Amino acid sequence: MNGGAEMSRPINRTALVTGSSRGIGRAIAERLGREGVLVAVHYARNEEAAEHTVKSIIADGGRAFQVRAEFGVPGDVDTLLEGLRAGLEELAEDVGLDILVNNAAIITSGTALEGTTPELFDRLMAVNARAPFFLTQRALPLLRDGGRIINISSGLTRFANPQEVAYAMSKAALEMIGLHFARYLGPRRITVNTVSPGITDTGHPSLLVPQIREALSNLAAFGRLAEPADIADVVAFLASDDARWITGSVIDASGGTMLGG
């Protein structure tokens, strides 16, 4: 870790990070790679970005491979798990998983509440809630006892933005996966936790507008936007042995957003 005592480093461990070709997911994959974890970099369509993530991890001394599967379509989880198994068979000591990070998601991008169609609602739920539910369920035979499941939610489950109500609902469902799976998997010493970021600088064009950036930065207690690495460090802690006594929790990683001032 940066400063202080070094994190308990996993040995010969494996991880699947969904949606890790860019943004927060990429930062998580790179962080776990630096901890010695063999990382499966999942992507939906942008193969070039996924390759860049894999190369970045390898250049930093880690190990990684990419796996493609588009969520929200028939057979999505089957496709992902087939690719995961193939990569583990080639690069790992055995086909087992230690860390699952459910990060992949889509957002409505400011769709007016009145403009949220049934089709858009169903798409959000399919990608943000249904896919991680069934991926987690289907990955349990691969997940080793003492493993880690970490879900990436959103601060929008705790403060209101009516334009993103359907997105927030899908993330609230993801938090329920964390709560209930934590109780179910306790006997196997598998922890299940959720990380809830606030506004994070993942390169969205609107954040290039100085007035918007300043206004959003001032919502956090620290007066700045989160960087993807800020979230990745929290995930890395939850993936470590140091977090073995934390499960079923939602960790606020919003930098004190909406605490008031």
Q: Is 184 a catalytic residue?
A: no
| 218/208 Cα distance (integer angstroms) | 15
Residue 183 has what DSSP assignment? H
**Annotated domain spans of the chain:** 14-253
Give 218-232 pLDDT, tens digit per residue: 989 999 999 999 999
The burial class, CB within 10 Å (0-12 / 13-18 / 19+), for 163 is middle
Whether 192 contacts 143, CB under 8 Å = no
CATH number given to 14-253: 3.40.50.720
**pLDDT of 261:** 57
Give 95-116 pLDDT, tens digit per residue: 999 999 999 999 987 778 888 9
How far is the CA of 232 from the CAs of 34, 161, 188, in angstroms? Answer: 11, 25, 25
- Of the residues 43, 167, 181, 237, only one is catalytic, namely 167
**Mean pLDDT score, 201-223:** 89
Bridge partners of residue 63, in order along the sequence: 38
Q: What global pTM score does this model have?
A: 0.93
| 137/31 Cα distance (integer angstroms) | 25
Helix (H) / strand (E) element for 196: namely: strand 191-197
Q: Mean pLDDT for the chain?
A: 93
